[in-house]
Structure 1
């Protein structure tokens, strides 16, 4: 059972998947930082200083705060500004993944086009051995006939 688990965890796709998840988590933090620290302040400056993370619609009359976090504590709110930020995160991640897949396809096409036209060194060696054995073949047949 231990060997089966070891083969599954370290030799199969599970290990590759784990590495991908860890890199994906780090990539997610980078994208969050890009959106919240770089893109949203620019959008906020363009729209006159509006902070998207603070945009919400109160769903209860008990909500009287202009701060989203306080408004959530006071009652039901619809935090659509946070949704806009998360949607921008998604668009950025989707665009970057699109670019990566497109780049990978380009690399695969280049590798396929750059495939070696001639035989490999192993194939050349085998051909030399085959060719060196061809002249000896008639002599071996002649010796075999004499022995009969």
Structure 2
């Protein structure tokens, strides 16, 4: 069983997947920071200074010491059940950014693969195509063979 596990781990696909997961996690943190620290504050500023992280609806009683606060994290830490639609909106923007970047990456790779395949096909056509003088000589030879001998 140990040898089978080693063979499984040593396969290229598993290692590629592990690298992709690690890079994806790091990329996710970068996109999260981009969304929360750059994009959402700009959107909030354009819309009149709104802070989307403070958009929530309290679904339960708020402790007296936190009454009237709009600090989402403090209320959440206090155990108040919250419907945080501002945080959800931020995550939705986050998802759209990641999805768009992945779309652009896949699109670029598909175009590159298409270019490589077309060039490979051209090279194959050039390799199989014989020069016209050789083709002409073959036709003459075949015609001479086809004539009856005198």
Compute the displacement of 1:30 (Å): 1.1
Q: Distance in 2 between matches of 1:74 and 1:7?
A: 48
Q: Which of 68, 73, 77 is the aligned partner of 1:69?
A: 73
Considering Cα pairs closer than 8 Å and 6+ residues apart, tell me whether 1 or 2 has the greater RCO.
2
Residue by residue, what CA displacement relative to the aligned partner does 1:39-60 show, whole Å, maximum 9, x if unpaired?
0111011011111111111112
Alignment of 1:73-84 (within 5 A): 73=78, 75-84=80-89
Q: Distance in 1 between matches of 2:8 and 2:79?
A: 50
Question: Displaced runs of 4+ in structure 1, greater than 6 A?
Answer: none
Alignment of 1:1-148 (within 5 A): 1-62=1-62, 64=67, 65-72=69-76, 73=78, 75-115=80-120, 116-117=123-124, 118-119=126-127
Compute the displacement of 1:37 (Å): 1.6
Residue by residue, what CA displacement relative to the aligned partner does 1:50-100 show, whole Å, maximum 9, x if unpaired?
111111111124362221122221522111110011110000001111111
Residue by residue, what CA displacement relative to the aligned partner does 1:17-39 show, whole Å, maximum 9, x if unpaired?
10110010111011111111210
Q: Distance in 2 between matches of 1:12 and 1:112?
A: 24
